[in-house]
Amino acid sequence: MGGVVAMIADNRGRNPFGWFIFGTMCCYGIPAIIQLYSSPNLREIEAKEIKNNEDKRRLMEQLQQTQLKLQVFQRITNERIDHHDGVLGLDTKAGVPPQVALPGATPHQLAPPPLPAAQPAQPAPAIWHYAIGDIQQGPVNAAQLVDLLSARTLTRDTLVWNQEMPGWLPMKDTPEFRNYH
């Protein structure tokens, strides 16, 4: 019976010599077998741990590859923006920093972007901004806002603002979008 207990112990990741002795000394080894089957299988636990470590290693490698791809994408994007700035004679990096909503701020409390320093001779079409939650979006033109409304990305209750308005208003309360559904 000691040999049977030792084989079971070895299959379950336990010390077969110690269990051989326990199996030969104890009432035909039945308590030893019961004890072995009621305790966790150390081999299964070790196999799960090895699998988890391998999965973790593979995920870390994927994360590193994704981060490298993101860095390359950001570099290429910045190079393209710099190229476009050079062609257009602009410096968008020195522009106005993006406005950040304060925690708990409503769209009414978001400061609109500053007015341009020089006014062109002909009035330019209105540049619109809209808010989704507490996040200011834009600039977009009126046609883009109508498209967003038609696509149901925005609702008639979405807050909008342009440089001619004193503050944020729901789209349904603006003359430009009052008749759109």
Q: Which pLDDT belongs to residue 4?
A: 87
What is the value of pTM for the model shown?
0.35
User: What's the pLDDT tens digit per position in 47-60?
Assistant: 999 999 999 999 99
Domain 107-173 sits in CATH at 3.30.1490
- pLDDT for the residue numbered 179: 82
Give residue 62's pLDDT.
Answer: 93
Q: Which residue has the tokens 């503050």?
A: 167
Better-predicted residue by pLDDT, 79 or 126:
79
Task: Give the H/E segment covering residue 10.
Answer: helix 2-11
Question: What confidence tens digit (pLDDT) does each residue in 66-107 have?
Answer: 998 989 998 898 888 888 888 888 777 765 455 454 555 555
Comparing C-alpha atoms, which of 89, 112, 122 is closest to residue 163? 112
Please report the pLDDT score of residue 59 as a whole number. Answer: 92
Sign of CA dihedral 90, 96, 97, 99: negative
Domain boundaries, the chain: 2-39, 107-173
pLDDT single digits (tens) 4-39: 888 988 998 888 888 888 787 776 677 777 778 888
* Letter string b/e over residues 53-70, b meaning 16 or more CB atoms within 10 A of that residue's CB: eeeeeeeeeeeeeeeeee
Q: What is the pLDDT of residue 3?
A: 87
